Structure 1
Amino acid sequence: MSGEMGLRERKKRRMYREISETAIALFLEKGFDRVSVAEVAAAAEVSKPTLFRYFPAKEDLVLHRFADHEDEAGRVVAERPAGVSPLDALHRHFLDGLERRDPVTGLNDDPRVLAFHRLLYGTPSLVARLYAYLNRSEEALAAALGGPDEIGARLAAGQIVAVQRILALENWRRIDAGASADEVRPDAVAAADRAFAQLREGLGHHL
């Protein structure tokens, strides 16, 4: 039974990825607002009802790439080694992301990543939808920090997620303006160090 469930889950994930990648290719070619859901469904060779079963909103076709990162901060905190504070674990994880040129950190100058970010940040409805994903990331992090019903954990999670978003956006803006990832990296690391130092100053007695 577990093997069947595993196969079913893999097929589901593959379908998510294939539909999303088809949609993003069309959006990059024609513009988000100029492509209908019907066009995406036809290109992906699925029906509209099937598409909406996987993606409740048109914007989710693009933002699916963020879905795997929704609980990432919470997972980093929950799985951190003994003796490592939540902020230290998140700081190290962000620095590791910069080192790997993880697109989530904004420090990536691959033309495909840049095109995706231009699509995302240049489309108001996508930016608005992105905040729903960030809210779920905050909830997962708050739960890992001490439970979603604890106001202190929720406030801390909101600040941490906001800091990571601002750092990533600044990195992307500089690269979008023409700088390379290698050129931006030293400043990106310094900014991350400064940002997490400020978080420790404000949240240290809680985290």
Structure 2
Amino acid sequence: MRERKKQLTYQAVSDAAIALFLERGFDKVSVAEVAAAADISKPTLFRYFPAKEDLVLHRFADHEDESARVVAARPAGESPLDALHRHFLDGLDRRDPVTGLCDAPEVLAFMRLLYGTPALVARMYAYQGRSEAALADALGGGLPARLAAGQIVAVLRILALDNWRRIDAGESADAVRVGAARAADAAFAQLRTGLDAAARTDPDAATDG
């Protein structure tokens, strides 16, 4: 019950903050104003969210170790890359905002806030660093696992950003879906075969259509 209450408080404070940020802009809202809107003290807010940026990026917290969990829970005989590839394609089908393929108005507003605020973009890299560390552990640890995790997390980020940019430019999620899946297939093929093979591939082939 204590943990559930804590999670509800996290969500309530984050929701109050994001509503203010969307209305007035991230840089124009103070932490004190967020605390007042959430009906808590400023010191209490900082116990839940160490930095102002975390009020927004809290929504990504559940995804920090997502890739690691996918690898750990994969069926016997399935490779880590195959499991992550399958999971990303499933996310496209579900229009999971983490894949960038979601055109729900509230998600579009949130993503515009995120990518339009340099402080939030910079803070997001810290979250991605923790994702890399968790995935590297799931892959067995050591330098080879860290190198692989860094490449995989970068691929997932770039795929999601490309999808988001197309949708932000006015395309629907349904219209982007086929190209997004094709790009994911090409990206994971590149991970499997390495950069030498990628250098011999037409760079526009994965995104045509």
Which TM class, normalised by the smaller chain length?
over 0.9
Counterpart of 1:79 in structure 2 is 73
Runs of 4+ in 1 over 3 A off after TM superposition: none
Matched, 1:132 2:126: yes
Matched, 1:58 2:52: yes
Counterpart of 2:90 in structure 1 is 96
Take 1:190 and 1:22, find their aligned partners in 2: how far apart are those partners?
A: 38
- Equivalent positions of 1:14-93 (< 5 A) are 14-93=8-87
Counterpart of 2:191 in structure 1 is 199
Counterpart of 1:202, as a letter, is: G
1:11-59 superposed Cα distances (whole Å, 9 cap, x missing partner): 0000000000110000000000000000000000000000000000000
Counterpart of 1:184 (choices 166, 176, 179) is 176
Take 1:53 and 1:187, find their aligned partners in 2: how far apart are those partners?
A: 43
Deviation at 1:60, TM superposition (A): 0.1
Matched, 1:160 2:149: no
Deviation at 1:63, TM superposition (A): 0.1
1:127-176 superposed Cα distances (whole Å, 9 cap, x missing partner): 000000000000000000012xx110000000000000000000000000
What TM-score does the superposition give when structure 2 sets the normalisation length?
Answer: 0.93
Deviation at 1:202, TM superposition (A): 2.2
**Aligned residue pair count:** 195
Task: List gaps (5 residues or longer) in structure 2.
Answer: 196-209
Take 1:29 and 1:184, find their aligned partners in 2: how far apart are those partners?
A: 29
Percent of matched pairs sharing the same residue = 79
Take 1:110 and 1:198, find their aligned partners in 2: how far apart are those partners?
A: 31
Take 1:141 and 1:47, find their aligned partners in 2: how far apart are those partners?
A: 36
1:42-101 superposed Cα distances (whole Å, 9 cap, x missing partner): 000000000000000000000000000000000000110000000000000000000000
Q: Please give the secondary structure, in 2, of the residue aligned with 1:68.
A: helix
Q: Please give the secondary structure, in 1, of the residue aligned with 2:102.
A: coil
Q: Please give the secondary structure, in 1, of the residue aligned with 2:194.
A: helix
Counterpart of 1:4 in structure 2 is none
Q: CA RMSD in A?
A: 0.8
Take 1:45 and 1:39, find their aligned partners in 2: how far apart are those partners?
A: 10
Matched, 1:118 2:92: no
